[in-house]
Amino acid sequence: MSSTGKNTRQEELAVSVNSNSPLFEHNHNDEPVFLASNMLESARIQKNLQRLTVPEGCLLDFDGELVDYLVANGKAKQEPAWPCFHTRLYRWSVNETEYGIIGGTVGASFAVLVAEELFALGCKALVTISSAGLIAEQYQTPLFLLIEQALRDEGTSYHYLPAERYAQASPALLQVVATILTDAGIKHECGKSWTTDAPFRETRKLISARRDEGIISVEMEAAALLAMGAALNKPVICFAHITNSMATREDDFEKGGDDGHETALKVCAMALSALINIKEV
* Per-residue pLDDT tens digits for 155-203: 999 999 999 999 999 999 999 999 999 999 999 999 999 999 999 999 9
Q: Within 10 A of 16 (CB to CB), how many other CB atoms are there?
A: 10
Q: In this predicted structure, what is the pLDDT of residue 30?
A: 83
Q: In this predicted structure, what is the pLDDT of residue 78?
A: 98
Average pLDDT in the chain: 90
pLDDT (tens digit, 9 = 90+) per residue, 209-221? Answer: 999 999 999 999 9
Beta bridge pairs of residue 195: 152, 219
Tell me the pairing of strands 189-196 and 215-219: parallel
Among the ranges given (17-21, 55-59, 175-179, 239-243), the one the predictor scored with the smallest mean pLDDT:
17-21
User: Does 241 have pLDDT greater than 50?
Assistant: yes
Instruction: Name the band, by pLDDT with cuts 50, 70 and 90, for residue 246.
Output: low
Class of domain 34-277: alpha beta
Residue whose C-alpha is closest to residue 234's, from 51, 70, 60, 15: 60
pLDDT (tens digit, 9 = 90+) per residue, 93-138? Answer: 999 999 999 999 999 999 999 999 999 999 999 999 999 999 999 9
- Rounded to two decimals, what is the model's pTM? 0.89
Q: Give the integer Cα–Cα distance in Å for 220 and 108.
A: 6
Q: In this predicted structure, what is the pLDDT of residue 258?
A: 67
Q: In this predicted structure, what is the pLDDT of residue 23?
A: 84
User: Does 205 have pLDDT greater than 90?
Assistant: yes
User: Does 276 have pLDDT greater than 80?
Assistant: yes
Percent of all residues in the chain with a pLDDT value above 90, rounded to a whole number = 78
User: Does 250 have pLDDT greater than 90?
Assistant: no
Q: In this predicted structure, what is the pLDDT of residue 249?
A: 53
* 95 three-state secondary structure: coil
Rounded to an integer, the average pLDDT of 35-52 is 96
Instruction: Name the band, by pLDDT with cuts 50, 70 and 90, for residue 247.
Output: very low
Q: In this predicted structure, what is the pLDDT of residue 254?
A: 54
Instruction: Name the band, by pLDDT with cuts 50, 70 and 90, for residue 29.
Output: confident
> Which amino acid would we find at residue 186?
I
**Helix, strand, coil percentages, rounded to 5, for the chain:** 40, 25, 35
Domain boundaries, the chain: 34-277
* 152 three-state secondary structure: strand
Rounded to an integer, the average pLDDT of 5-30 is 64
Among the ranges given (50-54, 185-189, 246-250), the one the predictor scored with the smallest mean pLDDT:
246-250
